Amino acid sequence: MRVWPGSPYPLGATWNGMGVNFAIYCEHGTGVELCLFDDVRATRESARIKLVEQTDQVWHGFLPDVQPGQIYGYRIHGPYEPKNGHRFNPAKLVVDPYAKSIARPIQWSDEMFGYPIGHPDADLVRDDRDNAAFAPLAAVVDPAFVWGDDRPPATPLHRTVIYETHVKGLTQLHPAVPPPFRGTYLGLASEPVLRHLLDLGVTAVELLPVHHHTPERSLVERGLTDYWGYNTLAFFAPDIRYSASKEPLQSVREFKMMVRGLHAVGLEVILDVVYNHTAEGNHLGPTLSLRGIDNLSYYRLVADNKRYYMDYTGCGNTLNMQSQRVLALIMDSLRYWVTEMHVDGFRFDLASALARELHEVDQLGAFFDIIHQDPIISQVKLIAEPWDLGEGGYQVGNFPVGWAEWNGKYRDSVRRFWRGDGGQVSEFATRLAGSSDLYERSGRRPYASINFITAHDGFTLQDLVSYNEKHNEANGEGNRDGANDNESWNCGVEGPTDHPEVVALRERQKRNFFATLMLSQGVPMIRGGDELSQSQGGNNNAYCQDNDITWLDWKLTPQQIEFLDFARQVVHLRHEQPVLHRRRFFQGGRIRGADIKDITWFAPDGGEMADEAWTSSLARALGVRLAGDAIDERDERGERITGDTLVLLLNAGDADVPFKLPPVAARCHWEVVFDSANGQEQAVPYDGGQEYEIQARSIAVLLLYREKRRRLSDRAQRLADLATLGVPARIRVTSAAPAKVTDDTPAAPER
């Protein structure tokens, strides 16, 4: 085997058409051996090559006789001194941190640990048994791929509707997806799935982690697995388990095909990424990659006893954000997924942990500085899960400009309001209007708020209205795992029931939640499966359930079809109405001296909400008028954005409430768009000042009807209908927004 000096850059295994350059960072080790395997079934390497070249703490070599598809791993020599932070063990093969593909997943055995399992001194003693037969192995890839005319959809964040989903769970049971593609990247990009996403009206899919991950041994021994994937092993490698071919080279290609297919119909791809910890766990965890390569450099260790790890994540370890090499690893990974894999953004799991340069969360930390200065990463969608498990980790509203955040306060407020809790009206209104209290002071916009009511972590929407308590017995932890406080309400019966009144109330509550999400300023995120009324049987922590509990069931009942139709209706209403996806916060005052406000909150008697109403523990109903002709924003061509004026009536109480509708100008009236009491679209007219009775636990939307506006809206709808007959492009409904008023004599403003 010929070995040339090679280059210290780029890190990883890089094919250049004439051979492969191998480069790996290791500051504290004393030697590095590259191990080559003939196939994934091999129990020993066929060649062990000592890398003698070292440049700037990077060990490297070039092998002209190696090609894409070569399977490899590393053995790292150095001291085994856990109390000093060193855990080198050449008996343990480790995965290249820059591996672009994982050819063989882990096969659990005691040999995967750097110490003898069961030894009285635990990890203080080195285990010298070889793990080559069980260790995960990487593969060299050829990055060549024909992207054609692929380009990012670049949907503005304020027009984005996110669909959070799992690659496997979305398609595993889909009857129209070809069986070989179910549960795979190719299945997600198949025609029936794309059609569902387009019909629903989403603009982006947010995929639960697709970086290759490793399930914990304890789960595997219980017959479970790490279904969600928040246990990353390789930050550059798409998980081979979601590949239809299960081949290391094809897994990369299939991921790219998925992205290309989604882009072709205007859908963006956002990845849920985990850069706060790895699959190696705490000091008693396995040696898989970074621990055996350079533990002291890669992990945050306890200062006065480096045997132990700082754990801000609840997963046993935390990556060392003080290390330039860790920052480089993360940035290189992000850049790779954008430039090579063409993804459109990232959602950062436990993002507060990334800001912990010392102990405190520092929003101006090096990680954020580097992100903002990077010409590639700074231009994609950046979404933070703004908390971790450490002290001071809850940082909702505190991330820098350029970042959006999962708004946990929105979730909690909306759940409490529709549960019927008292004293919620004021905060609920703030969340509905975009959470200006969290984002406006720092110069951010409403689209900094990623609004969600449910997510992968917690109850589904169906379970939110069906269970008061979690039911996680299937996880094998005695129902101790998962959150105990879910702000849920079972509508009178715990779990499934055929009681007609309870079922009807649950359906209404689901419509209330979903409609609220689409009517709120900010960026709505739908938990994939909620539109199908998916239930997980009350399991609010189904991280380990790769089975019917989490897989979406596409065989819908008439009741589920009815809710899906409602969900589509309100998503498209959001796209059609500019007043529902403003770029700027409402001002609550008169715009440009006109006798209209951009937003007006009013009580059931028709008067504006008084201070005592906002603070009353008895208040559970409110109305809001959103002025479509007072948006005070310009489109991409500099034209004023104008849309319909809407009234939202919300009643979370258990009694019907008559609302006096706002007055209107001559030849205008209010028209009901939908009422969650029945979920049906209806065009019932109401005069200004007339009462509209909003039923208990219901939300209604009314539109200001004007003859001119109706003609324009009808024309826009015809254009949208024609567009859908051609080649799929961007989400069609965005082109069906009401036309702008450009004549010299606009109609009189509504009052």
Question: In sequence order, what E strands does 374-519 have?
Answer: 381-384, 404-406, 449-451
CATH assignment of the domain containing 468 = 3.20.20.80
Nearest 5°: the CA angle 240, 244, 247 is 50
Report the mean per-residue pLDDT for the chain. 92
Start-end of H helices in 238-345: 248-264, 290-298, 324-339
Report if residue 558 sits inside a domain: yes
Of 105, 139, 173, the domain-final residue:
139
**42-70 pLDDT, tens per residue?**
999 999 999 999 999 999 999 999 999 99
Instruction: List Cα–Cα distances, 316 to 135, 280, 281, 310, in angstroms.
Output: 21, 8, 4, 8
Could you tell me if 183 and 99 lie in one domain? Answer: no
Report if residue 281 sits inside a domain: yes
- Determine which one of 272, 349, 487, 507 is catalytic: 349
Look at residue 102 and tell me whether its pLDDT is greater than 60: yes
List, in order, residues 6 or more apart from 535 with CB less than 8 Å away.
460, 462, 463, 466, 496
pLDDT of amino acid 106: 97
Higher pLDDT, 504 or 364: 504
- Determine which one of 127, 206, 280, 385 is catalytic: 385
Look at residue 650 and tell me whether its pLDDT is greater than 60: yes
Count CA atoms closer than 13 A to 694's CA, side-chain side.
31
Could you tell me if 653 and 629 lie in one domain? Answer: yes
Q: Look up 681 and say whether it is catalytic.
A: no
Q: Look up 437 and say whether it is catalytic.
A: no
Start-end of H helices in 685-736: 707-723
**Minimum mean pLDDT among 561-570, 585-594, 668-677: which range?**
585-594
Structural domain span for residue 88? 12-139
Could you tell me if 131 and 179 lie in one domain? Answer: no
Report if residue 51 sits inside a domain: yes
Could you tell me if 591 and 560 lie in one domain? Answer: no
pLDDT-above-70 percentage for the chain: 91
pTM of the model: 0.93
Could you tell me if 384 and 350 lie in one domain? Answer: yes
**Minimum mean pLDDT among 79-88, 351-360, 569-578: which range?**
351-360
**370-407 pLDDT, tens per residue?**
999 999 999 999 999 998 877 777 889 989 999 999 99
Could you tell me if 135 and 165 lie in one domain? Answer: no
**664-717 pLDDT, tens per residue?**
999 999 999 999 998 766 778 999 999 999 999 999 999 999 855 554 454 455
CATH assignment of the domain containing 611 = 2.60.40.1180
Could you tell me if 108 and 243 lie in one domain? Answer: no
Look at residue 459 and tell me whether its pLDDT is greater than 50: yes
Report if residue 238 sits inside a domain: yes
Report if residue 149 sits inside a domain: no
Count the domains in the chain. Answer: 3
pLDDT of amino acid 726: 40
Could you tell me if 534 and 664 lie in one domain? Answer: no
What angle, 0 to 180 degrees and rounded to 10, lies between the N-to-C axes of helices 500-519 and 558-576? 20
Could you tell me if 629 and 595 lie in one domain? Answer: yes
